[in-house]
Structure 1
Amino acid sequence: MLQQLTQDEFLALSKTANRVAVYQEIAADRLTPIGIVQNLADEMLDGAILESGLRHEDAGRYSFIAFDSMAQFSVQNNQVSQRIESKVSTPSTPPFIALRQLLSELSCASKQHTAKFVHGGVGLLTYDAIRLFEAIPDRHSSDNILPEVLFNFYRTTLMFDHLQQKLLISVIVETGDNPVQAYLATQEKIKKLITKITAASHQETTHAHPKIKQDTPVDIDLSDEQFMDLVERAKQHIVDGDVFQIVLSRRFSKRYTATPFDIYRTLRRVSPAPYMFYFPTEQGVIIGASPEKLISVYDRKVELNPIAGTRPRTEHSNDEHITTELLNDKKEMAEHMMLVDLARNDLGAVCEPGTVKVSDLSRVRHFSHVSHICSAVTGQLREGLDALDALAAAFPAGTLSGAPKIRAMEIIDELETSKRGMYGGAICRLDYQGNLDSCIAIRMALLKEGIATIRTGAGIVFDSNPKAEADETRHKARSVLEAIALAQEELK
């Protein structure tokens, strides 16, 4: 049965909070998330999309579309700035304390079954946000493009339920002095949205992918030879005992003329992944299809999913052969186990003693362009701490920095020739009930003024083959570069 918040329920909730989420469900068996976004093009100028390609798992049940930003929180050069409606302020408190206060101020009343992740903040932490927590050198500070932290808090959220084929439309409204009028006005707003959503909805087409010519220019900030030299220098740090493992990256750039949304559409089709995102900012549009969770907190259960160990994969690959090869590769398994231990240490800092455990160890998962060794580490969040504490403890992922983390990041700053920006950072969503979900910002691009910037890396250990590591960065860039090329081809 399709649900909606009644006027009586709204009036009851309005006595408990200044903001209430008014919602209505509609049948969505003839709709698609992409069709909805296309029909709401005017509303989606600041809108975000969060999806999962895992349709057969619980994680892939919902797609979220959010728009109409009522507040924004950012940190740039360690300076906090926030906007609530049109009012801008610069709190002097530390960033995460200010973010907690904003979450509390913006919280809304809602019926329980609509609460989790329907409303809250959608945002990002760049890799450089680590300097909010640790004194890491910054040789490339002049390269700043994105804020270190950016969250948008949206008034309207659409939750597409792929299992039950229904769409929840939820709008936050300030109750004000006349709650009845506020409710009726919001109902009228939802009615207009439904008309737009359901009017001649564009339908996605599924067709064979044309062969893509990979001859369009791709600029790389480090040649294979230069990257291989960095690998050798990193290996010397390992021999010297500075680190056990270090993740080195390089930057790929490619021009595009397709719209960022069409590139995202293509990426989600050619490279479905557990975490897919489309997030516009003033500095460009961030799109991605990440295979890796950073950290999640659901009802105070914390989970990390370290991924390490990689093989290229195509539609003709033998997955059973790849699985056997990865699990019998001593170098890949040693690297993976090192990062599982690092994940356990990260959770140990914020979880109740005795609750941290490896719940899934060394399972090979196959994605569109690569296969990875994956594990899951869980724990119970310690009393007195919250999701932002857990995020700070896990950030950045050891799989994108190295072990031990701090020294690895110092060496990364020494060896890499440009700022990482979003690479190795996180795309996050926070709700008003204390839940957090986040993915590592990999297999993604920043699309700005016709130039796509992509960054990929490889984990270096003492016996790494420099040529193989350079090749790995190319394999990891393939999915996004292919999506751009295909989106360009479809313009013709």
Structure 2
Amino acid sequence: MYLRSVKTIRLESVENFKNQLLLWSQQFDDVIWLDSNSYIQDYSNYDAVLAVDAFSNIKTSYHQAFQKLRAYQSNTKDWIFGYLTYDLKNAVEDLSSTNFDGLKFPDLYFFQPKKLFLIKDHRLEIKYLKCVENDIEEDLRKIYDYTEPQNHPAKKNIKIKLRIHKDAYFEKVTQMLAHIHRGDIYEANFCQEFYAENTRIDPLETYIKLNKISKPPFATFMKTGNNYVLSASPERYLKKEGLRVLSQPIKGTARRSQDLHLDSLYKTALANDSKERSENIMIVDLVRNDLSKIAIKGSVRVDELCNIYTFNQVHQMISTVTAKVDSDTHPVDILENTFPMGSMTGAPKISAMRIIEALEETKRGVYSGAIGYISPEGDFDFNVVIRSILYNATNRYVSYSVGGAITSKSNPLKEYEECLIKAKAMRTVLEN
């Protein structure tokens, strides 16, 4: 167990401090910023969290990835922050990932931060490892005084390309529908990539613009060396607090309107849409099944089913599934037994993942994976990496992907239009 020095202070202006803190963090090679954007929710521990400056880390391919993460967490018994890529599916099932990968992120990366900031209401808790405890006062002074450099690079036009063009998308959805009608699967999440090559972006500026548009409850800025994730995710994958585990899958999307009456009609239509409800309920059943692998018998329950949540860009249908685990259950075992999250795969899960791999053109990587943390006590909270821009600054490659659930009731044109709705914020930010 690593010891940390703790300092608690009251913040007069939380938003100003958050902005300063995020700017100050950019000097470090390892940064994870988690921001709830003050979105009203029932299950949040913190309003914002910043972890920076790696003391130790683990970086690995999918081979024995969960075993390695379990050993790393058990040895550090400290806060660790990082990501799980979708392709860790290959570690838990007899699957592979052979599609094109322009981003080339490691399959799993976690680090133990020297410096940690936890914000709740107007309270800031600072937790520094003992090796840097003398930096606290000096860092606070620098954060309050920090001014943003003015040497912004000249803006370049970004040309967004489609990995799967419209006609090909229709053809692939038709193939997936054939699998459904044949009985191979009931539902699958089919994704497509939008990308730009030989492109440079300002990662922090891009994240700030994306977050301003969407203001989601699981926003993330992640930097590991020259790899970046700029996420406006509305979805929680999995949270553990004490012996309670909670999952909140999203299935079902409707557009927003500035016309209040029309917006209300969109919301009501989503709530009553039989296709969207059936998608959501299928994934709820999948999540219940995943949680039952590690839960105390009889403890899995659905706390809310197909509730409508409203975000800046879209209305979403969300359910909440909870379970209880034994006190000796390792946190990484919970992640391994439920990964990847059902909302990004389909049902039955393994068959859906095989079909997804055959029909998609891009290795998903961090997209539809998860970013979050594990605490010294073994509690954790992870988002689902959707509505996100991924950037490899070394390769000068920018990517964002969107997807939707394909069921027997799916209409290829409507599925395509839903993808464009989900992609709007990312495209707007990148193309100005």
- Do they superpose with TM above 0.5? yes
**Distance change in 2, residues 1:467/1:141 (3 Å):** closer
Which residues in structure 2 correspond to 1:67-106 (within 5 Å)? 67-76=52-61, 78=63, 94-106=64-76
**Distance change in 2, residues 1:386/1:265 (3 Å):** same
Aligned to 1:14: none
Give yes or no for contact 1:64–1:157 (8 Å, CA) kept in 2: yes
**Cα separation, 2, equivalents of 1:77 and 1:365:** 34
Letter in 1 for 2:71: Q
SS at match of 1:197: helix
Give yes or no for contact 1:319–1:366 (8 Å, CA) kept in 2: no
1:25 Cα deviation from its structure 2 partner? 2.1
**Distance change in 2, residues 1:189/1:138 (3 Å):** closer
Aligned to 2:127: 170
SS at match of 1:155: strand
Give yes or no for contact 1:145–1:283 (8 Å, CA) kept in 2: no
Aligned to 1:468: 414
Higher deviation after alignment, 331-340 or 254-263: 254-263
1:447 to 372, 378, 391: 391
**Cα separation, 2, equivalents of 1:73 and 1:426:** 16
Aligned to 1:432: 376
Give yes or no for contact 2:243–2:327 (8 Å, CA) kept in 1: no
Asked whether 1:482 is paired with 2:428, we answer: yes
**Distance change in 2, residues 1:242/1:310 (3 Å):** same
Letter in 2 for 1:65: L
**Cα separation, 2, equivalents of 1:142 and 1:49:** 25
Higher deviation after alignment, 248-257 or 228-237: 248-257
Aligned to 1:52: 36
Higher deviation after alignment, 218-227 or 48-57: 48-57
Letter in 2 for 1:199: D
Asked whether 1:276 is paired with 2:241, we answer: no
1:275 Cα deviation from its structure 2 partner? 0.5
Residues 60-82 of structure 1, C-alpha deviations (whole Å, 9 max, x = no match): 8421111110011122252xxxx
Aligned to 2:105: 146
Q: Identity rate of aligned residues, in percent?
A: 26
Aligned to 1:121: 80
Letter in 2 for 1:71: S
- Give ranges in structure 1 of 5+ residues lacking alignment: 1-16, 79-93, 109-119, 175-184, 203-214, 487-492
**Cα separation, 2, equivalents of 1:406 and 1:70:** 37
**Cα separation, 2, equivalents of 1:468 and 1:410:** 24
Give yes or no for contact 1:29–1:166 (8 Å, CA) kept in 2: no
Aligned to 1:351: 295
**Distance change in 2, residues 1:388/1:315 (3 Å):** farther
Asked whether 1:220 is paired with 2:162, we answer: yes
Asked whether 1:238 is paired with 2:223, we answer: no
Letter in 2 for 1:157: L
**Based on CA coordinates, which of the two structures has the bigger radius of gyration?**
1
Aligned to 1:135: 94
Which residues in structure 2 correspond to 1:248-267 (within 5 Å)? 248-254=190-196, 257-267=200-210
**Distance change in 2, residues 1:364/1:142 (3 Å):** closer
Structural RMSD (CA)? 2.2
Which residues in structure 2 correspond to 1:364-379 (within 5 Å)? 364-379=308-323
**Distance change in 2, residues 1:22/1:310 (3 Å):** same
**Cα separation, 2, equivalents of 1:96 and 1:239:** 35
Residues 155-199 of structure 1, C-alpha deviations (whole Å, 9 max, x = no match): 1101223x2x2322210115xxxxxxxxxx72x311111211222
Aligned to 2:356: 412
1:201 Cα deviation from its structure 2 partner? 6.1
Asked whether 1:193 is paired with 2:139, we answer: yes
Residues 321-367 of structure 1, C-alpha deviations (whole Å, 9 max, x = no match): 12221122111111111111111111111111111111011111111
Give yes or no for contact 1:273–1:290 (8 Å, CA) kept in 2: yes
**Distance change in 2, residues 1:467/1:474 (3 Å):** same
Give yes or no for contact 1:312–1:370 (8 Å, CA) kept in 2: yes
TM-score (structure 1 length as normaliser): 0.80
Aligned to 1:320: 264
- Give ranges in structure 2 of 5+ residues lacking alignment: 149-156
Residues 181-222 of structure 1, C-alpha deviations (whole Å, 9 max, x = no match): xxxx72x311111211222667xxxxxxxxxxxx96321111
SS at match of 2:3: strand
Aligned to 2:243: 300
**Cα separation, 2, equivalents of 1:279 and 1:289:** 12
TM-score (structure 2 length as normaliser): 0.91
Give yes or no for contact 2:103–2:391 (8 Å, CA) kept in 1: no
